[in-house]
Amino acid sequence: MEHDLAVQVSGRQLCPECGHALVATDERFTSWCADCEWNVDPAPPASEPGRLAAVRRRLARRHGEELAAAMAGEGTNRPRRDAPSLLALGLALLVHGVTLALAVAGLLLVALGWETVVQPIGGAVLLVVAFVLRPRMHGIPQAGPVLYRADAPRLFELIDDVAAVTGTAGVHAVVVDADFNAAVTAYGWRRRRVLVLGLGLWEILTPRERLALLGHELGHFANGDVRHGFLICQAMRSLSLWVETLAPSRAHTVWDTLFNIMAYLPRCAAYGLLVLLDHLTLRAAQRAEYQADLSAARAGSTEGAVALLDRVLVADSVQTLMRREAVAAQMTGGAAGRAAREAAERGLWERIAEHVSSIPAHEHERLRRVSVRRGHGVDDTHPPTHLRRERLALSEPQPARVDFGDERAAAVATELAPARTTVARQVVTGLAR
């Protein structure tokens, strides 16, 4: 990468490693060396967040690299489900099949063994177990204000346009929250589509980047990720419950010991299946992310999609600012405190956007380099951000296919205004997650 960092060199501070001048003159940001990368990542994370998450992150990096190479030659056509993801789906159905079998066995025991007393009791236990293990339909996410088509027709129209470009249909509801993220999911038995729009991210994006964000999220619907994700995710939940329930207890009596011995093999089986499902789905999930990035480019242009991935890297900075705003507003009590909170709410999103636009080029460059070093991913199932960026940069350049001009942007902003105020209040009063 050719970056003209020399221009920003202060001329005073020199690198203790290689003697070249350091970048960064702004005391808000880290001083680092663009030549030898001295101090580029002054505070690397101390440890990984847990065993399964650490394994997943390592695998995510490995798969991410393999996939990026393997997919480099592919076009934007839909992914065919590969063998691992079909196997995962089969295993998930098997897990749900066990739950169903328990329910059926329970019913039969109750119905056919009615006179025996013992059998109905056993049947009732099986029915309760099956009930606990059943796939659960979630309601609409409760993170913040919910918008339906009637509340925000222009926003839904924009989402429809992006959906059409990515080859799918729009959503039934939009949930607005404070997160530095966006997500799609389905809720209820009718599997209605919902888009969760995090204002922490949305508010710092340009129109083109917003199109890319919507394109990425709707791309997950287009690729069937949400549908498959549900069955597999519920199977994993069911397996986790098995593992927990069958966990060995401290042996006080001979019965405890007997239980521990009998539970050992089923527990190993459940745990093994859980790990297997996790591994099988990880690769598919990563492929899905690369595909969704291509949808992002189709909606908001390749440049927009790449710029969006650069934006993702300022997450920490935005989240720190939000926390600071919340703490500052809560410091004063009484009437003065209320005035302070109201003042903080009013310009919150503008201040965040202003802060992000004040981040100098050398800091963006440092964040990019840190992301390469750490293998930064949006979470532990996403491929590393720098690989997604590279993959996009290598794909055939796409123009933006959806119009998001000033008039439309203003209309959408007006529709989002009430939710914006509500979510700003959640942030300032510390109610946002």
Q: Is residue 15 near Zn ion by the rule CB under 5 A?
A: yes
- Closer to Zn ion by CB, 18 or 132: give it: 18
Q: In angstroms, what is the minimal distance from the CB of 34 to Zn ion?
A: 8
Do 76 and 298 meet the contact criterion of CB atoms below 8 Å apart?
yes
Q: In angstroms, what is the minimal distance from the CB of 297 to Zn ion?
A: 13
Among 265, 268, 278, 266, residue whose Cα is nearest residue 237 = 278
Q: Which long-range contacts (CB under 8 A, 24 or more apart) does 28-34 make?
A: 29/359, 29/360, 29/362, 29/363, 29/366, 30/363, 30/366, 32/366, 34/3, 34/5, 34/362, 34/365
Residues 181 to 220: which contact Zn ion by CB under 5 A?
Answer: none
Residues 25 to 44: which contact Zn ion by CB under 5 A?
Answer: 33, 35-36, 38
Strand order in the sheet with 192-198: 146-147, 173-177, 192-198, 182-187
Residues 277 to 296: which contact Zn ion by CB under 5 A?
Answer: 289, 292
The residues, ordered by sequence, that sit 6+ positions from 49 with a Cβ below 8 Å of its Cβ are 380
Q: Is residue 157 near Zn ion by the rule CB under 5 A?
A: no
Stretch that binds Zn ion, among 16-24, 240-248, 275-283, 420-428 (CB under 5 A): 16-24
Distance CA 123, CA 146 (A): 42
Q: In angstroms, what is the minimal distance from the CB of 318 to Zn ion?
A: 19
x-or-dash string of contact with Zn ion, 236-275, rule CB under 5 A:
----------------------------------------
Q: Is residue 17 near Zn ion by the rule CB under 5 A?
A: yes
DSSP designation for 114: G
Do 308 and 212 meet the contact criterion of CB atoms below 8 Å apart?
yes
- Closer to Zn ion by CB, 31 or 99: give it: 31
Q: Is residue 24 near Zn ion by the rule CB under 5 A?
A: no
Q: In angstroms, what is the minimal distance from the CB of 296 to Zn ion?
A: 9
Q: In angstroms, what is the minimal distance from the CB of 78 to Zn ion?
A: 16
Among 239, 236, 221, 284, residue whose Cα is nearest residue 83 = 284
Which residues of this protein are in contact with Zn ion, per CB under 5 A?
A: 15, 17-18, 33, 35-36, 38, 289, 292
